[in-house]
């Protein structure tokens, strides 16, 4: 026998038992987001590598070590999309969406690819539902975006959620702050973890993420970006907070909140669930006012989020409904009637019933057992002499003309009307 092949590390098959739960995420997201004016967008599964290098940022973990990049054979470097915001901003600029009434609100549900160390809740191909609103810097849009994610997670039953919120200010404030933070880290460099010390120049903000005890002590006295916001950014952030208060969405202010992507300005937020293990992030996002411009489009404000479908399901942790029960099962007691069985199951489907027929050569006893397993309400038994319709609920059965099976089952299921 040849070696059995397996799905690549960090990937998974979505088996039938999981697909109902995933479909529920998609339909709840659609209902909620479309009711708030978001329209669905699909972008390609791969893009020019430069989109992510410029959009997500050269210094980020994603661009430095997690991208699946390849040469397309024509000397161009392409990358399987690791996130959705940069592609949506590219599409906004490419299709002149700045000429539409603003803000333009877009949502997506797609798979993304990151070459991360695979572990529970962290995959190399994973799904995100995301929402992006472009063309307005109104703090009410930040608040609306956050509230929509809160409502979605709530509707899907995600448990033990915490929302952390902060503001990164504008790019100039961040640069000044970055220099201040670097000076603080250099002054205490002996106490830092090696990897933090190595990244002082490249990405000093990530020092807030470290679990290393020496680093944590240094960070406890580090300057905080929220204390350095200019008046306009501070006012914007205060308005976002006050609108969340109005909407009765609770949050914690967390000035150490650092998102792994470079494009954020002003508001950043993250939902995590205490019922998940180490990979506790369920979804997050923020404002990215310069991003469209950075990708060659017009100066455009934007705010949005992405939430991991697998993490949402883990945080909801429920058994989800299986396939809908079969309304009519067509059993065959006489081989000569296979054609009738096929005609009956087809007529049932045309009439809108969930219907199946025997396809595995079982004995009649085996067929009735199988129909029971499928939760069948009615079973039509096509025998040598006649056709019997059995109501599995009441166990009553009656002989019916073969062409009346569907009408009888429909009457039994939906009543005489």
Q: String of b and e for 91-129 (b: at least 16 CB within 10 Å)?
A: bbbeeebbeeebbbbbbbbbebbbebeeeebbbbebbbb
Is 114 an interacting residue with respect to ligand AMP (CB under 6 A)?
yes
Piece of 16-24, 44-52, 134-142, 306-314 that binds ligand AMP (CB under 6 A): 306-314
Instruction: Give the integer Cα–Cα distance in Å for 255 and 238.
Output: 14
Instruction: Give the integer Cα–Cα distance in Å for 209 and 84.
Output: 23
The structure tokens listed for 246 are: 């109005």
Shortest Å, Cβ 231 to ligand AMP: 29
The structure tokens listed for 237 are: 């952030």
Is 51 an interacting residue with respect to ligand AMP (CB under 6 A)?
no
Shortest Å, Cβ 166 to ligand AMP: 14
Q: Which of 29, 133, 148, 306: binder of ligand AMP (CB under 6 A)?
A: 306
Q: Which of 52, 108, 126, 177: binder of ligand AMP (CB under 6 A)?
A: 126
Beta strand 69-71 pairing with 252-253: unpaired
Shortest Å, Cβ 123 to ligand AMP: 4
- Whole-Å CA distances, 300 to 75, 141, 289: 32, 14, 6
Is 116 an interacting residue with respect to ligand AMP (CB under 6 A)?
yes
**236 contacts 266 by C-beta, under 8 angstroms:** yes
Is 333 an interacting residue with respect to ligand AMP (CB under 6 A)?
no
Q: Which of 53, 97, 153, 282: binder of ligand AMP (CB under 6 A)?
A: 282
Closest residue by Cα to residue 108 from 219, 8, 33, 212:
33
Is 206 an interacting residue with respect to ligand AMP (CB under 6 A)?
no
Residue 297 neighbours by CB distance under 10 Å: 19
Q: Which of 43, 60, 128, 367: binder of ligand AMP (CB under 6 A)?
A: 128
Q: Which of 123, 208, 263, 269: binder of ligand AMP (CB under 6 A)?
A: 123
Task: Count the site residues for ligand AMP by CB under 6 A.
Answer: 17
Shortest Å, Cβ 10 to ligand AMP: 8
Is 122 an interacting residue with respect to ligand AMP (CB under 6 A)?
yes
Is 243 an interacting residue with respect to ligand AMP (CB under 6 A)?
no
Beta strand 328-332 pairing with 378-382: parallel
Of residues 150 and 405, the one with the C-beta less far from ligand AMP: 150
The structure tokens listed for 365 are: 């006893």
The structure tokens listed for 202 are: 């490249």
Is 43 an interacting residue with respect to ligand AMP (CB under 6 A)?
no
- Sheet of strand 104-113: strand arrangement: 39-40, 104-113, 125-134, 302-308, 281-287, 265-273, 161-167, 252-253
Is 281 an interacting residue with respect to ligand AMP (CB under 6 A)?
yes
Piece of 143-151, 198-206, 230-238, 276-284 that binds ligand AMP (CB under 6 A): 276-284
Of residues 218 and 312, the one with the C-beta less far from ligand AMP: 312
Binding region for ligand AMP (CB under 6 A)? 83, 114, 116, 122-123, 126, 128, 260, 281-284, 306-308, 310-311
């Amino acid at each position: 026998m040849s070696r059995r092949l397996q799905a690549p590390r960090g990937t998974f098959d979505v088996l039938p038992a999981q697909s109902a739960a995933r479909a529920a995420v998609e339909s709840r997201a659609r209902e909620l987001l479309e009711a708030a004016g978001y329209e669905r967008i699909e972008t390609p599964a791969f893009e020019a590598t430069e989109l992510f290098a410029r959009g997500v940022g050269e210094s980020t973990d994603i661009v430095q070590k997690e991208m699946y990049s390849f040469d397309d054979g024509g000397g161009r470097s392409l990358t399987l999309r690791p996130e959705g915001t940069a592609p949506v901003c590219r599409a906004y600029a490419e299709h002149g969406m700045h000429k539409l009434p603003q803000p333009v609100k877009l949502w997506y549900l797609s798979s993304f690819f990151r070459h991360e160390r695979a572990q529970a809740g962290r995959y190399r191909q994973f799904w995100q539902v995301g929402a992006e609103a472009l063309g307005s810097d109104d703090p009410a849009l930040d608040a609306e975006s956050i509230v929509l994610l809160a409502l979605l997670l709530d509707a899907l039953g995600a448990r033990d959620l915490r929302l952390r919120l902060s503001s990164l200010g504008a790019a100039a404030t961040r640069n000044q702050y970055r220099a201040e933070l670097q000076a603080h880290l250099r002054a205490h460099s002996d106490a830092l973890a090696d990897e933090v010390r190595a990244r002082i120049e490249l990405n000093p903000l990530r020092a807030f993420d470290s679990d290393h005890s020496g680093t944590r002590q240094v960070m406890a006295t580090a300057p905080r970006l929220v204390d350095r916001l200019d008046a306009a950014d501070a006012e914007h952030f205060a308005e976002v907070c006050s609108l969340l208060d109005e909407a009765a969405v609770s949050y914690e202010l967390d000035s150490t909140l650092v998102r792994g992507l470079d494009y954020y300005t002003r508001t950043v937020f993250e939902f995590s669930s205490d019922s998940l293990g180490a990979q506790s992030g369920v979804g997050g996002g923020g404002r990215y006012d310069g991003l469209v411009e950075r990708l060659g489009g017009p100066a455009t404000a934007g705010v949005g989020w992405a939430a991991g479908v697998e993490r949402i399901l883990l945080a909801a942790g429920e058994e989800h409904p299986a396939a809908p029960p079969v309304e009519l099962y067509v059993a065959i007691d006489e081989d000569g009637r296979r054609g009738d069985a096929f005609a009956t199951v087809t007529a049932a489907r045309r009439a809108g019933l969930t219907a199946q027929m025997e396809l595995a050569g079982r004995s009649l006893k085996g067929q009735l057992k199988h129909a029971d397993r499928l939760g069948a309400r009615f079973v039509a038994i096509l025998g040598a002499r006649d056709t019997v319709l059995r109501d599995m609920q009441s166990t009553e059965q009656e002989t019916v003309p073969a062409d009346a099976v569907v009408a009888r089952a429909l009457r039994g299921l939906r009543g005489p009307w």
